Structure 1
């Protein structure tokens, strides 16, 4: 039986019941019709930003790099090397192959990079350097030829470190442009911003809605909502560590859920006490505290099997396992964006440093998809070649029968023709140049 010592006090706002979709559709339509003129209008309206050009020149980027500390640059390089190493390992796991299904029938698979990708790097509250690593760098490892990066100014100022991260990640063009106007411009193309085939990257409710509305016209990585964290803990877990790690994710946004599922009521109670003690001294307490108050939950269950079962029902973005045998979760759990195993591994490592991708599914999307990875920037395509006449004739016979079972006469005739050419089969519609849809002789 599950006992909740704390449950959510509010419901996440559904976009369909807000004005977000209407506002976003209007911005997209305006940019589609008026291009750069509309982009500039919305940048001025939403970000108070209207430079001579949203595209940063090489000279501007070089100047920006001089304003970033050597230590920050060093850290960017180190984190990006971690991301590159893991993404490269993922790429090596995706193999092209060709098999001979039967004598003379060859089928194959190739992984081809998307040609052009737009990477959205958010920056409304914080300069999110890590999102540049996760989107731009991963796309480049996949082999994408052209990657456009867009990021907004923060309070009317250039986010120097974010630009540095985008540059070092390999962005081919960097635009200081944010919000729906950036996503729409990359998706539909304007006079100065080229259209892309795919857009990746997190963002606020407006950015997420823009991606949703444009999906189909362009590809997207996934639909992402507020950051989520769930911790599974047994009686050996440290409540202070749990409290610290829950708050580390709650500070992402005022609507970021943070959940503890534990087999120990003592651990649960002490964790809540520590959260109350830690919040007053946390710089982001206004965000983390609000998120914890409205969307924090603490559940006590009878055993770890029940804990894993309940965690799977949540299907959260980040799931941290603080138990005596954390790797047990790899066998017991199915639904999560990413697992963080043991006290030595915190979710913040995944967000900022360790090398796995932090663009992950939220709002139960983990039940049907994983997060952003090198494979998202690849198109897995197939090819076929039949080199043996007898094999083509036999497939023609099979195709003719299978197609006629579905009343697809045109498909059947393509098969008939091969059976006629390579096996001597006779069909009335082929014989003497006739084209009447008659039955096989």
Structure 2
């Protein structure tokens, strides 16, 4: 049975995924529901218990002091600090450029005397979850915190596992977090969503995490906002006969080492390249230090699809809607213009996902599991609200009141009709 639905005409598999990345979530859902309920009712005490259970440690004080933050920064070796600040500068510059495209609309008049507009209002308090994960991802705090500072968020709360690498604390500090807490997992999401004696309640939670973090974000959504529900990482590469098998294999394995559930795939119009990439992945795994993780991802979720032509390749790519989509074709810019479903696009063989993952400037928090069909990744706009407003002159009331009153009457909404008519009657009485 196919693990991928809606396979377009003209697509066959050289290598098919052995497993589906969307498994039964019932055990995680039940466990997270209990965690959220406990923390909502018992606050810090429950956070401490779950930290001890899941992370093996529970700090006496959750918040990282300013002295500890500064010590973490001082402990960075000079090159790591320089590289971190390089990434911060690039992410900041791109976020500022994006923010410049979101302008306030001060006074639009669809009719005489009817004035409308919108303001760009930063979210008051944001919670940034920073995963500790399998590796100390020094770029993770940069991607969630820096755009929040550019957007003008009032207060930025960062949570990361208590056993996270000290460099992660330094990254949160350098990126601009106002407060940093040593709390990880679903308990961090609960603490930020509901608030405790130690952790303030936030208005929106952003940032990736494991299945428990993801499920916790899903369950708290409503009273607080979230950025998205991100699953395991994904990379797909579109290539024709000009693709380089060694480069493609290298990029696939670079992403596969994130997690054993990473989805990695090649979609190509050239069967010879498909076979060469499969052989090259096997060869590179023999010397890759992270082969235990990358090899498992390739074994269970690796895919190579061979397409009859370019149209089939584009159609199948849009079905997958990969988180990271690289284009290795003869004319990558022309191909890129024809694609519509992806998290972030890497055009041409020189644009590797790893550059964006670490320091190039675009955000690495992106939609997975085909969510690229309807949303993009985390960006500066996620930290702001576009809130509309309107005001009317007497001329404007004369324009809109009659049709509004008639429509309300047609709908049987007498209260609406009266509200619409009232101001018109007052103007006519004058």
Same structural fold, with TM-score higher than 0.5 when normalized by the shorter chain: yes
CA distance in 1 between counterparts of 2:417 and 2:148 reads: 42
- The correspondence of residues 81-92 of structure 1 with structure 2, limited to 5 A, is 81-92=89-100
User: What CA deviation, in whole Å up to 9, does each residue of 1:244-284 have, x standing for no partner?
Assistant: 00001111111111010111111111111111111121111
User: What CA deviation, in whole Å up to 9, does each residue of 1:153-201 have, x standing for no partner?
Assistant: 34xxx51211111101100001111001111000000011000000000
Out of 238, 248, 255, the position equivalent to 1:232 is 238
Structure 2 gap ranges (5+):
1-9
1:99 corresponds to which residue? 108
How far off is 1:9 after superposition?
1.0
1:211 corresponds to which residue? 217
Out of 205, 208, 222, the position equivalent to 1:202 is 208
2:62 corresponds to which residue? 54
CA distance in 2 between counterparts of 1:302 and 1:8 reads: 20
CA distance in 2 between counterparts of 1:272 and 1:330 reads: 24
- The correspondence of residues 111-150 of structure 1 with structure 2, limited to 5 A, is 111-150=120-159
- The correspondence of residues 296-307 of structure 1 with structure 2, limited to 5 A, is 296-307=302-313
Out of 181, 185, 200, the position equivalent to 1:179 is 185
CA distance in 2 between counterparts of 1:193 and 1:3 reads: 52
User: In 2, are the aligned partners of 1:394 and 1:419 still within 8 Å (CA)?
Assistant: no
Q: Does 1:332 align with 2:341?
A: no
- The correspondence of residues 201-350 of structure 1 with structure 2, limited to 5 A, is 201-350=207-356
CA distance in 2 between counterparts of 1:124 and 1:79 reads: 20
CA distance in 1 between counterparts of 2:159 and 2:325 reads: 30
- The correspondence of residues 368-387 of structure 1 with structure 2, limited to 5 A, is 368-387=374-393
Higher relative contact order at CA 8 Å, sep ≥6: structure 1 or structure 2? 2
How far off is 1:3 after superposition?
2.3
Out of 9, 21, 24, the position equivalent to 2:29 is 21
Change (3 A) 1:330 1:422: farther
The structure with the largest alpha-carbon Rg is 1
User: In 1, are the aligned partners of 2:239 and 2:329 still within 8 Å (CA)?
Assistant: yes
1:431 corresponds to which residue? none
User: In 2, are the aligned partners of 1:315 and 1:365 still within 8 Å (CA)?
Assistant: yes
Bigger drift between 127-136 and 212-221 goes to 127-136
CA distance in 1 between counterparts of 2:398 and 2:425 reads: 7
CA distance in 2 between counterparts of 1:30 and 1:162 reads: 28
Out of 72, 76, 82, the position equivalent to 1:68 is 76
TM-score (structure 2 length as normaliser): 0.96
2:6 corresponds to which residue? none
How far off is 1:15 after superposition?
4.2
User: In 1, are the aligned partners of 2:329 and 2:335 still within 8 Å (CA)?
Assistant: no
User: What CA deviation, in whole Å up to 9, does each residue of 1:279-299 have, x standing for no partner?
Assistant: 121111111000001100111
1:436 corresponds to which residue? none
How far off is 1:306 after superposition?
1.6
TM-score (structure 1 length as normaliser): 0.93
1:433 corresponds to which residue? none
Out of 391, 396, 407, the position equivalent to 1:391 is 396
2:414 corresponds to which residue? 409
Q: Does 1:151 align with 2:147?
A: no
CA RMSD of aligned residues (A): 1.2
1:428 corresponds to which residue? none
1:162 corresponds to which residue? 168
How far off is 1:353 after superposition?
1.3
How far off is 1:13 after superposition?
4.4
How far off is 1:321 after superposition?
0.2
Size of the alignment, in residue pairs? 420
SS at match of 1:258: strand
CA distance in 1 between counterparts of 2:335 and 2:381 reads: 25
Bigger drift between 158-167 and 407-416 goes to 158-167
CA distance in 2 between counterparts of 1:281 and 1:58 reads: 42
How far off is 1:103 after superposition?
2.2
User: What CA deviation, in whole Å up to 9, does each residue of 1:308-354 have, x standing for no partner?
Assistant: 11101111111100011111233211111011011110011111111
User: What CA deviation, in whole Å up to 9, does each residue of 1:97-131 have, x standing for no partner?
Assistant: 12122222110011100000000000121112212
CA distance in 2 between counterparts of 1:330 and 1:267 reads: 20
1:438 corresponds to which residue? none
- The correspondence of residues 34-53 of structure 1 with structure 2, limited to 5 A, is 34-53=42-61
CA distance in 2 between counterparts of 1:56 and 1:176 reads: 7
